[in-house]
């Protein structure tokens, strides 16, 4: 068994993620997440992309039927709080408990969010947020978020290979679809 293939989305699966991400870039402030550190040296933007990628990979590898578009959108918005939680500020106290509400408020302000996406954003910090996840998409994102966060704390260059792979596949797909000689 090739572990690399097992831990990699197929190009067409990556393109589904990328097309929704592009939609959010055009309509929201999601790129601002690159200005904030999430864990270790990982930006909040890279963190949300990684959580989204690995959540999608998880449902694909374990053949979990769910609303993939909602999983992707909810995962991309799960930490859409748009501030540096490391800055000492009384509004950032208890960040782990309260940022899902802020992320949700920002998401509904900037985009149309459905019930599954709301559940993902609001409950991804379970059990810190004592509300139980209602959908399997929420359980997956919550689990993957914890795994990614742990990885980011201990890794110095988290997700460099993942970001390079995504960029290369998007680039190849773009030029494959063009009639360039």
Residue 169: per-residue pLDDT: 64
Q: State which H helix or E strand residue 39 sits in.
A: strand 37-39
Which carries the bigger pLDDT value, residue 160 or residue 73? Answer: 73
175 lies in some domain: no
With vertex at residue 159, the alpha carbon angle to CA 4 and CA 105, rounded to the nearest 5 degrees, is 125
Q: Hey, what are 138's tokens? A: 């929420």
The pLDDT assigned to 104 comes to 94
What does pLDDT average to over the chain? 82
Domain count, the chain: 1
Cα torsion 131, 113, 78, 35: sign: negative
> How do residues 53-88 score in pLDDT, each as one tens digit?
999 999 999 999 999 999 999 999 998 987 666 667
* Residue 175: pLDDT over 60: no
pLDDT tens sequence across 86-139:
667 766 565 555 688 889 999 999 999 999 999 999 998 888 777 899 999 999
Task: For residue 180, give every residue at least 6 positions away whose Cβ sits within 8 Å of its Cβ, in sequence order, or none.
Answer: none
pLDDT score at 172: 59
With a CB cutoff of 8 Å and minimum separation 6, the contacts of 20 are 69, 72, 73, 76
The separation between CA 68 and the C-alpha centre of its own chain, rounded to angstroms, equals 13
Domain at 33, CATH number? 1.10.3210
Q: Do 8 and 58 contact (CB within 8 A), yes or no?
A: no
Distance, CA of 173 to CA of 111 (rounded, Å)? 27
Residue 40 covered by a domain: yes
**Structural domain includes residue 163:** no
Alpha-carbon gap, residue 20 to 163, rounded angstroms: 16
In a domain, 76, yes or no: yes
Is residue 177, in this structure, part of any structural domain at all?
no
Q: Which residue segment(s) compose the domain that 71 sits in? A: 24-156
pLDDT at 174 over 50: no
Candidates 149, 126, 130; CA nearest to 54 is 149
> If we measure between CA atoms, which residue out of 154, 135, 166 comes closest to residue 49?
166
Radius of gyration of the chain (CA): 16
Q: Decide if 91 is inside a domain.
A: yes
Q: What is the pTM of this model?
A: 0.84
Are 117 and 24 in contact, with CB atoms under 8 Å apart? no
pLDDT at residue 127, as a whole number = 83
Rounded average pLDDT over 10-21: 85
CA 168 to chain centroid, in Å, comes to 19
109 part of a folded domain: yes
């Amino acid at each position: 068994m090739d572990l690399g293939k097992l831990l990699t989305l197929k190009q067409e699966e990556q393109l589904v993620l990328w097309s929704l991400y592009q939609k959010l870039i055009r309509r929201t402030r999601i790129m601002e997440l690159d200005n904030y550190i999430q864990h270790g040296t990982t930006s909040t933007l890279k963190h949300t992309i990684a959580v989204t990628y690995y959540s999608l990979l998880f449902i694909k590898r374990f053949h979990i039927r769910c609303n993939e578009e909602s999983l992707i959108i909810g995962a991309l918005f799960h930490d859409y709080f748009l501030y540096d939680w490391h800055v000492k500020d009384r509004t950032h106290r208890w960040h782990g408990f309260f940022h899902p509400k802020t992320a949700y408020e920002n998401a509904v302000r900037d985009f149309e969010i459905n019930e599954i996406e709301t559940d993902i954003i609001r409950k991804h910090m379970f059990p810190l947020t004592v509300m139980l996840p209602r959908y399997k998409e929420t359980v997956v994102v919550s689990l993957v978020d914890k795994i990614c966060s742990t990885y980011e704390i201990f890794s110095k260059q988290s997700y460099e290979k993942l970001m390079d792979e995504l960029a290369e596949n998007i680039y190849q797909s773009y030029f494959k679809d063009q009639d360039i000689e």
